[in-house]
Amino acid sequence: MARRSQRQLHLPVPNGWGGRRTGAGRPPTPGRPRMDHDRRPNHDVRHPVLVTLRAAAHVPSLRSIALFAAIRDSIAVADDRVFRVLHFSVQQDYLHAIVEGDSHSALTSGIRSLVIRIALAVKRLTRVGKVWGDRYHARALTTPREVRHAIVYVLLNFRKHLRAPAGVDPRSSGPWFDGWAQPSRSAAGPPPTSQPRTWLAAKGWRRGGLIDPREAPSPARKISR
């Protein structure tokens, strides 16, 4: 029997083959741009972190009495000695918070636990499916000015979203905040937030002066040095 010759066949490749193809992959979700999934930078324990969570489109207003109470109670039990929520506000479809973590793992696991705890609390009341529309956004605050701007942005955010008049937002940790320039009526009961341990969040931001409830929050992307 004759032995077959070993010869490699040449298959022509059409022009344009390989690489990214136009229209390939999952179509983009309409609406706001989604957060990318790049690896998060290592956390410097000296820096507080501004966190933003966006609710899915089908979730009712987070500012309703029942949902706000559930979110506030979830935040109140978030302190596990290595992770702390310092300030927060609840908007109709957003949650803003300033947090601290004593290590990178403490920060990431603390935020993750908070995200899950709030989602479960919202689901118990609304019976919705997915609560969050995207992964959380986190930004380190590295200077006293950044921290002060972030506190104004978080506690007075209802003035931007709801065009509310000057004052303390009842759907925030503002009623427990001790950094107002003008005396305000404190809330009843213990605060749902924790005391800061970083110098920036405890003392550094106060170099820029106490906060007037009439101040207008700047967009998060413009919080700068």
Domain segments of the chain as ranges: 49-222
The pLDDT value recorded for residue 6 is 58
Q: Which residue has the tokens 């690896």?
A: 39
Question: Binning pLDDT at 50, 70 and 90, where does residue 223 land?
Answer: low
- pLDDT digit string (tens) for 60-81? 999 999 999 999 999 999 998 9
The β-bridge partners of 211 are 180
Other C-beta atoms within 10 Å of 17: how many?
A: 8
**CATH architecture for segment(s) 49-222:** 2-Layer Sandwich (3.30)
CA distance 93 to 98: 17
Please state the pTM of the whole predicted model: 0.80
- pLDDT digit string (tens) for 83-114? 999 999 999 999 999 999 999 999 999 999 99
Residues 138/143/148/153 CA torsion (nearest 10 deg): -30
Does residue 34 surpass a pLDDT of 60?
A: no
- Give the pLDDT mean for 170-174: 95
- Give the pLDDT mean for 24-28: 49
The pLDDT value recorded for residue 137 is 96
Please, what is the average pLDDT of the chain? 85
What Rg value do the Cα atoms of the chain yield, rounded?
A: 24
Paired sense of beta strands 137-140 and 49-54, if any: antiparallel
- List, in order, residues 6 or more apart from 27 with CB less than 8 Å away: none
